[in-house]
Amino acid sequence: MPSSADTVELPSTRSPVRGAFDVIVGGSGSAGVCAALAAARQGAKTAIVEWLPNIGGIAATGLPILGNTYWQKGKLLSRGIPYELLMDLKAEDAYEGDPATQSYFCHDVDKYRLLAVRKLEEAGVEILTFTSVTGVLQEQGRITHLLVQQKEGAGAYAATVVIDCTGDADIAAYAGESFLPNEIDGHTQPPSLLFFVGGIDDTRVPGWAVIQKLWDDLRADEKWINPRGGEAISPPFGFPGKPGVLGFNVTRSLNVDATRTTELVRMEHEQRCQADEFFYRFLKPHVAGYENAYYSHAAILSGIRESRRVRGDYVMTREPIDNSEEFADAVAWGCYPVDRHSGVGGTTQLEGAAAQKEQSYYSIPFRVMVPARTPNLLMSGRCVSADELAFSAIRVMGITMQMGQAVGIGAAIAARDGLDVKRIPVDEVRDVLRSVDAFVERSD
Residue 357, pLDDT > 80, answer no
- Phi and psi based region of residue 264 (left: phi greater than 0; alpha: psi -120 to 50; beta: remaining): alpha
Residue 325, pLDDT > 80, answer yes
- Tell me what pLDDT residue 65 has: 86
- Phi and psi based region of residue 193 (left: phi greater than 0; alpha: psi -120 to 50; beta: remaining): beta
pLDDT band, residue 355 (cuts 50/70/90): very low
> Where would I find the beta strands (DSSP E) of 338-393?
338-341, 348-351, 362-365, 377-379
Domain ranges of the chain: 17-183+306-435, 195-298
- Tell me what pLDDT residue 50 has: 98
- Tell me what pLDDT residue 150 has: 97
pLDDT tens, position by position, 371-420: 999 999 999 999 999 999 999 999 999 999 999 999 999 999 999 999 99
The amino acid that residue 416 corresponds to is R
- Tell me what pLDDT residue 3 has: 67
Across 329-343, 349-363, 367-381, the highest mean pLDDT is recorded for 367-381
- Tell me what pLDDT residue 75 has: 84
**Separation CA 428–CA 4 (nearest Å):** 57
If one compares 71 and 235, the residue with the highest pLDDT of the two is 235
E strand or H helix that includes residue 158 = strand 153-164
- Tell me what pLDDT residue 444 has: 76
pLDDT tens, position by position, 18-43: 999 999 999 999 999 999 999 999 99
Average the pLDDT over 52-77 and give the result: 87
- Tell me what pLDDT residue 222 has: 86
> Where would I find the beta strands (DSSP E) of 81-141?
95-96, 106-107, 126-128, 132-139
**Separation CA 338–CA 391 (nearest Å):** 8
pLDDT tens, position by position, 285-308: 999 999 999 999 999 999 999 999
What's the pTM?
0.95
Contact 296, 196 (CB under 8 A): yes
pLDDT > 90 fraction of the chain, expressed in percent and rounded: 80
Fold of 17-183+306-435: FAD/NAD(P)-binding domain (3.50.50)
Helices marked H in 352-425? 388-394, 397-417
3-state secondary structure 269-283: HHHHHHHHHHHHHHH
**Separation CA 89–CA 101 (nearest Å):** 18
pLDDT band, residue 74 (cuts 50/70/90): confident
Average the pLDDT over 356-368 and give the result: 81
- Tell me what pLDDT residue 354 has: 45
pLDDT band, residue 359 (cuts 50/70/90): low
By the 10 Å C-beta count (0-12 exposed, 13-18 middle, 19+ buried), 180 is classed as middle
Please state which of the ranges 8-22, 28-42, 314-328, 344-358 shows the lowest mean pLDDT: 344-358
Question: How many H-runs (helices) and E-runs (strands) does the chain carry?
Answer: 11, 18
Helices marked H in 261-387? 261-276, 284-286, 319-322
- Tell me what pLDDT residue 358 has: 53
- Tell me what pLDDT residue 415 has: 98
**Separation CA 125–CA 67 (nearest Å):** 28
pLDDT tens, position by position, 132-160: 999 999 999 999 999 999 999 999 999 99
333-349 burial: b if 16+ Cβ within 10 Å, else e: bbbbbbbbbbbebbebb
Contact 408, 25 (CB under 8 A): yes
Beta-ladder partners of 310 = 179
- Tell me what pLDDT residue 105 has: 81
pLDDT band, residue 353 (cuts 50/70/90): very low
Contact 69, 326 (CB under 8 A): no
Residue 370, pLDDT > 80, answer yes
- Compute φ and ψ for 73, nearest 5 degrees: 50, 45
CA distances from 216 to 191, 211, 220, 236, 266 (A): 21, 9, 8, 17, 25
- Phi and psi based region of residue 247 (left: phi greater than 0; alpha: psi -120 to 50; beta: remaining): beta
- Tell me what pLDDT residue 356 has: 47
Nearest CA to 403 among 422, 386, 423? 386
Contact 159, 121 (CB under 8 A): no
Tell me the average pLDDT of the chain. 93
E strand or H helix that includes residue 119 = helix 109-123
E strand or H helix that includes residue 159 = strand 153-164
Helices marked H in 319-362? 319-322
Nearest CA to 382 among 399, 366, 405, 365? 399
